[in-house]
């Protein structure tokens, strides 16, 4: 992977994390930095999953199927992290 590819993956991950946070209902008690990290991880995993199930193809422009998988994974990740951080705060 080139430097440009890594930077692109980070930018897409940040956007995917923000979209994932918007999709999850309610308030999330997590920082924007954690949301960004979840988004980057979801973007990378979403690409792998989309390639594995045959959604991702090399097409010019935006690959909407892959982006949908990434946003769904980001929403799940945001919900899990927000839920886990909420439970830990209640226990205190």
Q: Spell out the per-residue pLDDT of the chain, length 92, in tens.
A: 577 767 777 788 788 878 877 877 777 777 778 878 888 888 888 888 888 888 866 667 777 888 888 888 888 888 888 777 665 444 44
Give just the sign of the alpha carbon dihedral 57, 37, 26, 18.
negative
Is this prediction's pTM over 0.75?
A: no
Task: Identify the H or E element spanning 8.
Answer: helix 3-23
- Rounded Cα gap, residues 52 and 17, in angstroms: 21
């Amino acid at each position: 992977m080139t430097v440009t590819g890594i930077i692109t993956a980070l930018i897409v991950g940040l956007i995917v994390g923000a979209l994932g946070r918007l999709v999850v209902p309610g308030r999330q008690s997590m920082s924007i930095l954690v949301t960004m990290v979840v988004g980057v991880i979801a973007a990378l995993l979403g690409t792998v999953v989309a390639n594995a199930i045959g959604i991702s193809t090399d097409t010019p422009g935006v690959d909407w199927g892959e982006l949908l998988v990434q946003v769904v994974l980001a929403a799940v990740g945001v919900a899990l992290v927000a839920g886990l951080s909420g439970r830990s705060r209640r226990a205190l």
